[in-house]
Structure 1
Amino acid sequence: MSQPWVPFDDRGLSYGDGVFETILLCQGRPMLWALHVKRLLEGCRRLAIDPPDESALAATWQAPPGGEWEVLKIIVTRGSGGRGYAVPEVATPRLMSRRVPFQPDPSAWRQGVGVRICSLRLARQPCLAGIKHLNRLENVLARQEWQTPAYREGLLADSHDMVVEATSMNLFWQQEGRLMTPALDQCGVAGTLRAGLIEAQHVVPAQLALDELAAVNRLWLANSVQGVWPISALWSSEGACLRRWEPPQDDPLQAVAHPLLGYPATP
């Protein structure tokens, strides 16, 4: 059960010392639950936090549904205590959760979205690559780079100018008939929808340099809550339009991704 407040000395609040998951519920049932649990447990392992047991995690969603679609957020922190950055000898991890109503955006599925390249570059840190830890300050700074609704998302490259992700979604592209996504062994969040597509061999991890981005056949953004958004226009950080794409009539990524979320394969 979620507690209504966080103590001042909670290490998640003080240092980002914890992990979180954001999960789509369809009529009360969590989509991609096994992959969310797997990533949360991997994050706890990397940070050396004792993970909650699976019954405690399952209790976060085992309640009557509040509508057709909801979003469940789960946060696990190391708990309270410790002097400075040193972790306490005995820590009691804290589990918190919240469910809120959600409405997907079918217009983005059908018409696509405009995105911009962010000026901020992600730092490489393999120890944290892939997990969804609580320190998302790079994403917060990147999201402050634009206010106009013409851009629904911002694309992030790392310090070596390799494309990594968007501020809150994974990136996918098609080239020569293959569906690909950035390999996230240096930085970035390995999304659960991305993991499901890789496991099913629909998508393969690859490298994509920033200066190659505008030349691919097609681009998409996707995550386990919003589904798949085709990219219809790509803008530079200076505001120049680099490329436009027509949304596909039969979207090959939506066809394999949306059934994993309970969304229609052809919106």
Structure 2
Amino acid sequence: MRLLFIGDVVGRSGRAILAEQLPRLRLAWGLDFVVVNGENAAGGFGITEAISDEFLATGADCVTLGNHAFDQREALVFITRQPRLIRPVNYPRGTPGRGTNLFEAKNGARVLVVNILGRVFMDALDDPFAAIEREIEACPLGMGCDAAVIDIHAEASSEKQAFGHFVDGRVSLVVGTHTHVPTADYQILRGRTAYMTDAGMTGDYDSVIGMDKEEPVRRFTTKLPSTRFEPALGDATLCGVAVELDDKGLALQIAPVRIGGRLSEARPEFWE
């Protein structure tokens, strides 16, 4: 089974390269399932229904979110009627939408997708470790699902790494989002769970984590805000991670994906 996870899509430039590249990648790589993190897609903050629908029409099988899930007020409403839009599962009880869902991949496999929000240097939500334990028990790999993808949206690398080891051998892929910088530690853990601390963002890297450089630099140097953050609009890099699974839903191969823009290109050689 072939999985592709695409990291945080930021603003117009991120949306543009996703629309350009994802349909051709699905075809060229014979992808069975694609997850896109879209929590920064609408002007850098949140997601709208139109953008969510665009991502799904472009080739995403589901869209995950994060701490900006509800920055666009309309998300409070449309997320309840869009089962392929997944917000963090450890939001408080009663939060609109769902934090997990079971999907059918192109090859007929059942894919569990769970979105989790970390707590270190983030808003203190419910325990992500306890939350994932509940989800794995409810839908175990090899019984309730054929593959399981976990998007851990978190700031601290240590929390993400601990989380990966906590579920090693019990899920197919643990991939971090939120920091907008791709890490070089893509690997298959001892229990054969694919892991990467952060997939990076899909956006313009001539920026400060996707935002036009001037305002962030001004705030760091003067400690005074001048205007709101706006997404950088230059050529974007599509970033993510590619994983091939065996018939038990465990990882055989993993590789980073970087296409376009300023970053050095990386593609999964095992699919080329």
TM over 0.5, shorter chain: no
| Bigger share in strand | 1
TM-score, L = length of structure 2: 0.26
| Higher Cα Rg, which structure | 1
TM-score, L = length of structure 1: 0.27
